[in-house]
Structures are given as C-alpha cells and as structure tokens.
Structure 1
Amino acid sequence: MNEVDRLIFQYCPDGINWKKLGDLEDAGIVKLGRGKVISKYDLANSPGEYPVYSSSAVGSGEFGRYGEFMFDDERISWSIDGGGRFFYRHPHRYSVTNVCGWLKVADQNILSTRFVFHALSNAWSRKSFDYTKKAHPSVIREEYFIPVPHITVQQEIVRILDALKEFNVELSSELTTELKARRKQYNYYRDRLLIPGSGDVEWRTLEEIGEFVRGKRFTKADYVENGIPAIHYGEIYTHYGVYAHETLSKVRSNMADSLRYAEPNDVVIAGVSETVEDVGKAVAWLGDEKVAIHDDSYAFRHKMNPKFIAYAMQTDAFHDEKAKHVSSGKIKRLLIDGIRKVRLPVPYPNDPEKSLKEQARIVAILDTFDTLTTSLSEGLPREIKLRQQQYEYYRDLLLSFPKPDEAA
C-alpha cells in the first residue's frame, strides 16, 4: 500500500465524495468570477510591473504589464473563449482580463488550491470547449465535478504531482541547454573546418564555381500523392537539412514539360523568405533522379562535393556575404545577380582530385556532428512529450477515485 492509499484508508474510511463546482461555490468553499476588460490602450496609459493574464496570449497567458492589480493571492484562471485550459496563479500581484474566469478556494481547510488545479486539469483533458460552448463561470460550475478527499490526502497528491512537474521542467531545461551547447560546438567546428585560417584555400564566387538554374512555378494545387518529385523553396528551411535523398512533395506528372529541375548532386537554394537567415539556405540533392524546383529557388550546378557546398552555406561567413545581396522589405529576396557574387572557400583549388578528397574528409566529420545534433533535436521534444505523458498518467491514476452515478 503506497502513502496515498494509506492516507485514504486512514482519513477517508467511508470513501471519497465528488462535488460539483457549483455546489462548492454555493457552500462558500470556492468562489468563481470573471476578469475585467483591460485593453492594450489601458496598458499603454497605465504602465507598471504587474502581469495581466489573458486567453489571447500564449505560454503562461501573460498579456502585458499594468500599473494596477486585481489580486495578490493564490487562484486558478482559465480561458473563456474556447480552450478552457486552467492555469495556476501563485500568490503575487496580478490581473486577469474579461476573457478569463477565475477560481479562489475560500476554505483552505477543505480544499487545496493546487489540488483543485490538478483535478480540474485532469477533467479538462477529457472535455471540449469551442466558440459556441464557452467556458463561462456559469458553465464551469455546472460542468466540472472534482473529488474532495481529506486535506491530508490532497496535500500528498499535490506533493507527488508537483515533484513530477518540477522534474519535467528541470529535465526540459537540461536537455535544451545540452542541445544549445551541441549546436554551438557543431557551428564552431563547422566554421573552423570550412574556413581554415591557413592552408591552400581560395575564396571563389559561386559564378566561378558553377552555374544557376532558376525553377518554374508550381502551387499547392499541383501537389499529388504520386507524381514528379519536387522541392518547394519554403521546405528548404522548414523541412530539409543539409542534404536529401527524397522529397517531401510531388507535383502532377502532366506538368513535366513546364517545370525546371535540379539534377542529382545539385544544391537547391531558397531564393525567398521572410528572414535574412532563411533566404539562401541550401539542401544538397542526392536523389537518384532529377527533381522539380520552385521558381523562388535555384539549382546550383557544379563539380564540387554537394554536401561540402551545403555545409559551407551554413557558415557565418556565407551568411554575412549573402546578407549584402538580400533585398530589403518584409519579403527577403536573394536575386541571382547577388548570389552569383557570394564567395565560398575552395580547398586546393588548383588540384581538383586533392580538393575533392579534402572536401570529402571535411564532410565526413561534419556528418558526424550533424547526426548527433539532429538526433538531439529530434529526441528532445520526444523525451519531453514522454515525460509529460508520464505526469498525466500518474495524475490520472492519483485522481481516479470512484465516482457517484451523478458525476459519472
């Protein structure tokens, strides 16, 4: 028998009652309410240090900072306009807007606020609110039932769940820090390998190294499940890594004659993006067949190692050179006349065979770093998701007391 079972046996010999929030409010054990209208205009006219929470914000729900506050105690808030997700607000000075509801535990001898938060979050995970069924306090009070074990049992459950939650936060922070360190290490060695301080290396413009082929337009309406392999410029910075053997997308086969293609070993470069960082990103096409490319991208045809070029186009030096040739405005565009002038380092430029061997050596090292960094990038969200599922499993287990028929 674990500690929770022991406490239930000791303090709840007759079982555990489930109570509707409305009944708890009527009994004066909890209070329910709604926030007040606080606009961006209000924030601008009364600046301050006190957070304002709203369902229109993401993360913790913080909308802004204000010179006034509504509460300074422990409460639970939730979004009224769809979602209905619950947030625990620890004691501090804060406000909630009119699109939020709030709950205050009035009798801490009967209910723990943290316990109520965990119980409501557990119940919320099984419900659905939308813009037709809003989570008004009047709805919440009728919609939710929570278990009310003895306060000692509540405190033990809270201790366990809070410990799990804290562990998840710490693990996420540690994994994120580790990933950042690995990426920093990878970027350092990549730049040192590709841009050595000495040795037989010559900087050459892309137009000296190879030639460009601009793609032809296709749209999402042209996408099919089986057709011509195609690379859209946006996929270069949202989906692909340094290289690819197969494509995410395919377009209609009857478009074949109207398209332009990247050949195997070409490097496909994004010509348009909303950021300077993403425009000019490249993927080495290592597939066995030619691939259609969008007209806002270029196929760079050359006689070098394609992965070497793609890696070189990730360096700070390439980014700095590229930035000189990016158009201003909301949409960043790297025009062909500009990208031709961007330079890349070429090892042993006067000895093609030796140059390719050196490029292959550098690529092999960078592939190892890239694999490690990619595995961490993919493993991080997966590990965090698993830990969250573990927390939810134990939360469900700890709060799954038998329900009376009317609460089922």
Structure 2
Amino acid sequence: MSRIDELIAEHCPEGVDFRPLAEITSKSTGIKWASVADASFKYIDLSSVDRVTRRIGETVSVTAADAPSRARQVVRTGDVIFATTRPTQMRWAVIPEEYDEQIASTGYCVLRPNNDVILTNFLAHILGTGNFSRYVESNQVEGNYPSIPDSRIREFKVPVPPLEVQREIVRILDTFSKMEAELEAELDARKQQYDYYLRKLTDPSEIDGRIKVGWKASQIGQLCRLEKGRTPIQKAIPGQYPLVVTASARRSSSEYQFDTAASCVPLVSSKGHGVASISKVYFQEGKFALGNILCAIIPNDFRELSAEFITYFLQSRKDFLLVPLMRGGANVSLTVDSLRKLTICFPPRDEQDRIVSALKAMEALIDDQAYSLPTELSARRQQYEYYRDKLLSFKELEPSL
C-alpha cells in the first residue's frame, strides 16, 4: 500500500467532498488607478502565461497613465489564474512572490484559495486535469473570441480531500514538475547564451560609444525598398509558396508576392490588448507570399547589404528600435513610413556574412538541443499527466441522510 493509500484509508476511506470553487476560493480585488499616483506595476496580460510551462514569462510595466483597460485585477502570491478568453488553450499559472500585488488582465479568472481547505498547488494541478478541460470546453461561449464566464469557472466542483492527503499528492506531482523545469532551464540557458551573442555580434558601438571602424549608419528607406504584404492570412489559398506570417512556422499560398531575399517585420503587436510588442523579425528568400500585417525590407544593393543581416540586427534591437515606434490604443501597430525613417548600422558585406554564419551555427546547435530535450520533456509530461489524473481521481462522499 502506498503512502497515499494509507492516508486515504486513515482520513477519508468513504470518499471526499466535492465542492464548487466559489466555496473554497475568493476573488481578487480591483485596483483604483486614481489612488496609486505614478506607481508602476507589472502587468500580466493574456500572453504572459506560457501554456506549456504554466509560468509567467514576459510582462510589461504599466502606470495609471498608460494601463490598458483590462489591467484591473490585483493579484497576490499563491493566487491561481486561469485565462477565460480562448479558455480551451488551458492557460493558467500560480502567482509567484515576485508578482505579489501586481496587476492581471480581466481576461483571467483569479482564484484565491482558502489554504485551510485547499492547497494552492493542489488546486493548480486540478486545473490541468482532463475533467476540468472537458468542463471548460462544454461551457465556453462560442464566438470570434470564445470565452467562459468567471461564474462558470467558480461553479466547477473539485475534490477536497483532507490536507494531509493533498500535501502528499502535491509532493509527488511537484517532483515531476521540478524535473520538467530543470530540462526547460537547460534549454533556456542555451537560448540566453544565443541572445547574448546576437546582441554582441550585431552591436555597432565601441566601448566608448563611437561606431565601429568600417560600420555605416543610414535610414532603412535610403538603403532598401519597403513593401507591405498583400495576402490576407486567414483567407490565403494554400499552395506551393511559403507564406510568411507572425509565427515561426510558415503557412503556404497559391501565389507569391516576392522573388528575392527580405527581412519581414510585423506591423501589429504580438500581444494585442493595447500592449506594444514584437516577438520576432523573420527572414525569407526565394518566391514567397507575405501576410498583410507584415512589411518586407529588401536591400537595394545586395552587394552592400544582406537582408539576413538586417533581420538579425532588428531582432537584436526590436525592443528599443521597433517597439517604441508602435502607436495606437486597443490595436497597437507600426507604420511602413516609420520603418523607412529608422536608422540601422551595418559593417562591410563580408563582415555581415561572417556574423550571419556565426549566428546560424549557434541556431543549429540550439535546434539540435531543441529536438532532443523536448523528447525527454514529452516523456516527463506524459508521466506527470498519468499520475496527476490517477492521484486526483477520488470517490465522492455520499451525502449523509
């Protein structure tokens, strides 16, 4: 008999209570922006939570002056947040200490567990179960942006075994989560190393701030032709040509717009909801189509300037060269004209090629690890999911007469 079997036999041999989340959790409080003056907060929007790792990644700082309309929920350490917009993506996370008293989007249902009844991580593991996923799918409201009301989330009934049983289950499941985290950290370390060399190799400045010998600076519009994509991404007819979209994986198109090499810059925010952000700048060559929310940057003279080098240069500096140029309220975007006026720096063509070759070699190394590590990660996740669903399946206690 396992330790959990012993605890169940001792504390709840007849079964456990199933209680609505509304009874064992409370809601978050709302922020009053007028009362916080110039204070700055980390904002957890709908894209901040990684759907795989269940951790909070990139956030932005907001104040009363620039906070999006959805930035209204104050979260605390130990809260569990679940995204109610496109809920079948199953985007949820536990709020760590570094985000205590920060702000979350109203697109999240914030569950503040009563730890005298249910442990934070026990609740978090339940949100990953097939039972909860099926409940969400059957209760979501369809539309352009499917959603599920907070009230329906709070109606979901969860098993509430004694705390001694919860602690043992959490100990086991957290062990699997820790092993996953270690593998993810190894891959992340390689990516951080790559980002360092990306910035270093494309940096045009000497230590004293002067531009490096042999490097030039000029506006993109003086060096390149800029053309906006013409293909509506959702209406594209699949075909033989790559279709560059705002994702690493290419789609396809029956027609092509370009037959050249180009750096492709997204013109809309990768996050939306009033937050300026660009996740990636893309390189493409040959015959290809371009989505109508991107702009192609094509060198006038390929003997002087490499489109691939432009891509790396803009990618390494996107957060302080491209993102500040974005404008708008709910729909934040970048204009082609603002790109034309942007100044870039570049070395002689042979040095550009050397930099590109070095970065591509590093990418290949990371890609090799990105193929091997996910195999091990997948095995760990399957093991975790098996034990999670097994350990969180309880007999419901029969109501007393």
TM, length-normalised to structure 2: 0.56
Partner amino acid, structure 1, of 2:335: R
Computing the radius of gyration over CA atoms, which structure comes out larger, 1 or 2? 1
1:127 has 2:135 as partner: yes
- Deviation of 1:104 after TM superposition, in Å, equals 3.3
1:20/1:373 CA distance change after superposition, 3 Å: closer
CA contact (8 A) 1:215 1:299 kept: no
| 1:113 maps onto 2:116 in alignment | no
Alignment partner, residue 35 of structure 2: 45
* Gap change, CA 1:104 and 1:31, over 3 Å in 2: farther
Counterpart of 2:252? 249
Q: Do the aligned residues in 2 keep the contact of 1:222 with 1:251 (CA within 8 Å)?
A: no
Query: What percent of counterpart residues are identical?
Result: 15
Q: Supply the distance in 2 between the matched residues of 1:188 and 1:163 (Cα, whole angstroms).
A: 38
SS at match of 2:239: strand
C-alpha contact 2:258 2:288 (8 A) present in aligned 1: yes
Does structure 2 conserve the Cα–Cα contact (< 8 Å) formed by 1:267 and 1:301?
Answer: no
Q: Tell me the residue number matched to 1:351.
A: none
Structure 1 regions of 5+ residues with no counterpart? 241-246, 253-258, 348-354
Once the two structures are superposed, what CA deviation does each residue of 1:94-127 show, in whole Å capped at 9, x if it has no partner? 899997666636xx5xx55358626743442342
The answer on whether the counterparts of 1:273 and 1:279 sit within 8 Å (CA) in structure 2 is no
Q: What is the rounded CA distance, in whole Å, between the counterparts of 1:136 and 1:206 in structure 2?
A: 53
In the alignment, structure 1 residue 371 sits paired with structure 2 residue 364: yes
1:138 and 1:298 mapped to 2: Cα distance? 46
- Structure 2 partner of 1:332: 334
Q: Which residue of 2 aligns with 1:346?
A: 348
Rounded Cα–Cα distance in structure 2 between residues aligned with 1:82 and 1:284 = 31
Structure 2 letter corresponding to 1:183 = D
Could you tell me how far apart the structure 1 residues matched to 2:125 and 2:73 are? Answer: 28
Relative to structure 1, the CA distance from residue 221 to residue 113 in structure 2 (aligned partners, 3 Å threshold; closer, same or farther) is closer
Map Cα deviations across residues 314-342 of structure 1 (whole Å, 9 max, x no partner): 2379969x969x97855433459947986
Please state if 1:239 is matched with 2:233: no
Contact kept? 1:54, 1:79, Cα under 8 Å: no
**Which residue identity is paired with 1:157?**
I
Contact 2:283 2:307 (8 Å CA) reproduced:
no
1:184, CA displacement in angstroms?
Answer: 0.8
Map 1:59-78 to 2 at 5 A.
59=49, 63-65=72-74
Total equivalences in the alignment? 344
Contact 1:267 1:283 in 2 (8 A): yes
Seen in structure 2, the aligned counterparts of structure 1 residues 280 and 138 have a Cα distance that, compared at 3 Å, is closer
User: Is structure 2 residue 191 aligned with structure 1 residue 179?
Assistant: yes
Aligned-partner SS, 2:385: helix
| Pairing 1:137-176 to 2, within 5 Å after superposition | 140=155, 144=157, 146=159, 148=161, 152-169=164-181, 172-173=184-185, 175-176=187-188
Q: CA deviation at 1:398?
A: 1.7
For residue 6 of structure 1, report the CA deviation from its aligned partner.
Answer: 4.6
CA apart distance, 1:211: 7.1
2:309 to 294, 308, 311: 311
Cα distance in 1 for residues equivalent to 2:44 and 2:326: 35
* Unmatched tracts of structure 2, length 5 or more: 50-55, 57-69, 142-146, 205-210, 270-275
Q: Supply the distance in 2 between the matched residues of 1:279 and 1:155 (Cα, whole angstroms).
A: 39
Preserved CA contact (<8 Å) 1:4 1:156:
yes
CA-CA distance at 1:160 after TM superposition:
1.9
2:378 and 2:196 map into 1 onto residues whose CA distance is 24
CA distances 1:3-62 after superposition (whole Å, capped 9, x unpaired): 3345446x26x944132327xx9xxxx9557648x554x34336799x9x9999975799
| 2:283 paired residue number | 283
Aligned to 1:3: 3
For the structure 1 residues 301 and 336, does the alpha-carbon distance in structure 2 shift closer, same or farther, using more than 3 Å as the test?
farther
Distance in 1, matches of 2:389 and 2:252, equals: 40
Give the superposition deviation at 1:300.
Answer: 3.5
8 Å Cα contact 2:258/2:289 also seen in 1: yes
- Alignment-mate amino acid for residue 384 of structure 2: Y
For the 8 Å contact 1:75–1:103, the answer to whether it is kept is yes
CA RMSD of aligned residues (A): 6.1
Write the deviation string for residues 248-295 of structure 1: whole angstroms up to 9, x where unpaired: 33145xxxxxx7532xxx32234772579969956241x4xx345578
Partner-residue secondary structure (3-state), 1:269: strand
Once residues 133 and 362 of structure 2 are traced to their aligned partners in structure 1, the CA distance between those partners, rounded to angstroms, is 40
What are the superposed Cα offsets for residues 358-385 of structure 1, whole Å, 9 maximum, x if unpaired?
7766544332112234556777888767
Give the corresponding residue for 2:18.
Answer: 20
Pick aligned residue for 2:263 from 266, 269, 272: 269
Change (3 A) 1:380 1:327: same
Task: Tell whether the 8 Å contact from 2:243 to 2:288 is kept in structure 1 after alignment.
Answer: yes
Contact 2:309 2:353 in 1 (8 A): no
Structure-2 change in CA distance of 1:7 and 1:280 (3 Å): closer
Q: CA deviation at 1:395?
A: 1.7
> How many Å apart are 1:144 and its aligned residue?
2.0
Name the TM-score, length of structure 1 as normaliser: 0.56
